[in-house]
């Protein structure tokens, strides 16, 4: 017997919840919840297996602005970084 239980316990167990009764037989997707497809990467296809970590510190306002631009353009953070480097190289006449 547990310490907090007594022999004359009046507490009863709850009946089990029937989860099947809470869900529909077959869920239909909502029209406004259609899956988005990712736009083609501005840098071409980069396989994640070929990526290496890159870490550096930036001011909080820059971080916020960078993340906002990525969201607005529907890009991953690394895709925006790739595009930024490509634009910088192009502006300065550098080859990839």
* Structural domains of the chain, count: 1
Residue 46 belongs to some domain of the structure: no
How does residue 93 score in pLDDT terms, banded at 50, 70 and 90?
Answer: very high
Express each pLDDT in 26-40 by its tens digit. 666 677 766 666 556
Residue 70 belongs to some domain of the structure: yes
Q: Cβ(77)–Cβ(70) under 8 Å?
A: yes
Report DSSP state, residue 15: P
Instruction: Give the highest mean pLDDT range of 16-25, 27-36, 73-82.
Output: 73-82
Distance CA 16, CA 1 (A): 23
Residue 95 belongs to some domain of the structure: yes
Residue 20 belongs to some domain of the structure: no
Q: Which of 53-90 are b and which e, b meaning 16 or more Cβ less than 10 Å from the residue's Cβ?
A: eeeeeeeeeeeeeeeeebeeeebeeebbebbeeeeeee
Residue 65 belongs to some domain of the structure: yes
Residue 36 belongs to some domain of the structure: no
* Percent of all residues in the chain with a pLDDT value above 90, rounded to a whole number: 45
Domain enclosing residue 95, as ranges: 60-96
Q: What is the pTM of this model?
A: 0.53
Question: How does the average pLDDT of the chain come out, rounded?
Answer: 80
Residue 29 belongs to some domain of the structure: no
């Amino acid at each position: 017997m547990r310490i907090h239980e007594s022999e004359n316990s009046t507490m009863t167990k709850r009946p089990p919840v029937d989860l099947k009764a809470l869900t529909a037989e077959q869920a239909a997707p909502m029209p406004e919840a259609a899956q988005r497809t990712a736009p083609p990467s501005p840098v071409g296809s980069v396989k994640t297996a070929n990526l290496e970590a890159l870490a550096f510190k930036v001011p909080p306002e820059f971080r916020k602005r960078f993340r906002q631009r990525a969201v607005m353009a529907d890009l991953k953070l690394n895709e925006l970084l790739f595009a930024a480097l490509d634009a910088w190289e192009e502006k300065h006449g550098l080859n990839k």
